[in-house]
């Protein structure tokens, strides 16, 4: 299973939110590159980089942070947040994104999402299936839809999607454990390669997600708050 530490960026700084609420912002480091290098030095290979300014403004904003990390580390960066147009996608790829996570566009403009999937390939485009009370959300988790998360994933699996990152927003940043039941339901009813995100609190959570068959686990606040150490993650890798 892929161990994927997360860096969320606002104003070029490494921050974390709780349940996607921008008013809960905590700055953990003013230099995301420094954080990324610490991940790499610990032996980790992947990074989930989220442009929270981009998610809120519906256009890519923190591409310079992406560029700095991609050119100064060997981390494989999965980038998301604010990818709304062909230009946004090009900017992300040109600035070093190894993969892109697409959520809002998949919900709002499925045809464009499928165009990107065809153009970039199923190994580089990750479907972002973020939900609140099982309903898919968009635009930086500020807008709820009527789309059930499992139906959403199954629909795109039938159209070629292989990689899915799923976040239960009620778990995000709460340090109370992931949405194991939801992930189990997805794994039982699809064949997608599932990346679990949100609520990972302990190394035991990571091991359980691995045992369930998840492709990867995104880990954020638990690292910054010292609940999970980089040494533990490196040993697990």
Confidence of residue 206 (pLDDT cuts 50, 70, 90): very high
Residue 87 neighbours by CB distance under 10 Å = 11
pLDDT at 31: 98
Tokens of 103: 């959520």
Residue 97 neighbours by CB distance under 10 Å = 25
Task: Please report, rounded to a whole number, the percentage of residues in the chain having pLDDT higher than 70.
Answer: 100
- What's the average model confidence in pLDDT over 62-75? 98
**Tell me: the pLDDT tens digits for 186-205?**
999 999 999 999 999 999 99
**Tell me: the pLDDT tens digits for 98-129?**
999 999 999 999 999 999 999 999 999 999 99
Contact 198, 178 (CB under 8 A): yes
Above 80 in pLDDT, residue 85?
Answer: yes
pLDDT at 72: 98
The domains of the chain, with CATH numbers, are 2-236 (3.20.20.70)
**Tell me: the pLDDT tens digits for 53-62?**
999 999 999 9
Contact 140, 81 (CB under 8 A): yes
Tokens of 161: 């999607």
Active centre residues (catalytic): 8, 130
* 32-41 helix and 63-72 helix, angle to the nearest 10 degrees: 30
Closest CA to 110 of 157, 49, 57, 63: 157
Tokens of 212: 């369930």
pTM score of the predicted model:
0.95
pLDDT at 197: 95
User: Rounded to an integer, what distance in angstroms lies between the CA atom of residue 123 and that of residue 164?
Assistant: 11
Confidence of residue 81 (pLDDT cuts 50, 70, 90): very high
């Amino acid at each position: 299973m892929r161990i994927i530490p997360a860096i969320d960026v606002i104003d070029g700084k490494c921050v974390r939110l709780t349940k996607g609420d921008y008013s809960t912002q905590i700055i953990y480091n003013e230099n995301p590159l420094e954080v990324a290098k610490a991940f790499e030095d610990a032996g980790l290979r992947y990074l989930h980089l989220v442009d929270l300014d981009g998610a809120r403004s519906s256009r890519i904003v923190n591409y310079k942070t992406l560029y700095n990390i991609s050119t100064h580390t060997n981390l494989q960066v999965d980038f998301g947040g604010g990818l709304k147009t062909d230009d946004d996608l090009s900017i992300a790829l040109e600035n070093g994104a190894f993969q892109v996570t697409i959520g809002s566009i998949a919900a709002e403009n499925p045809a464009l999402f499928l165009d990107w999937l065809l153009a970039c390939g199923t190994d580089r485009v990750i479907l972002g299936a973020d939900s609140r009370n099982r309903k898919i959300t968009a635009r930086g988790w500020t807008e709820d839809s009527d789309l059930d998360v499992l139906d959403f994933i199954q629909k795109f699996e039938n159209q070629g999607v292989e990689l899915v990152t799923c976040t239960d927003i009620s778990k995000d940043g709460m340090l109370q454990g992931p949405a194991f039941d939801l992930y189990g339901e997805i794994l039982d009813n699809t064949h997608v390669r599932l990346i679990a995100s949100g609520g990972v609190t302990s190394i035991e959570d990571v091991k359980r997600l691995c045992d369930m068959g998840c492709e990867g686990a995104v880990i954020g606040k638990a690292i910054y708050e010292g609940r999970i150490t980089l040494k533990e993650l490196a040993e697990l890798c």
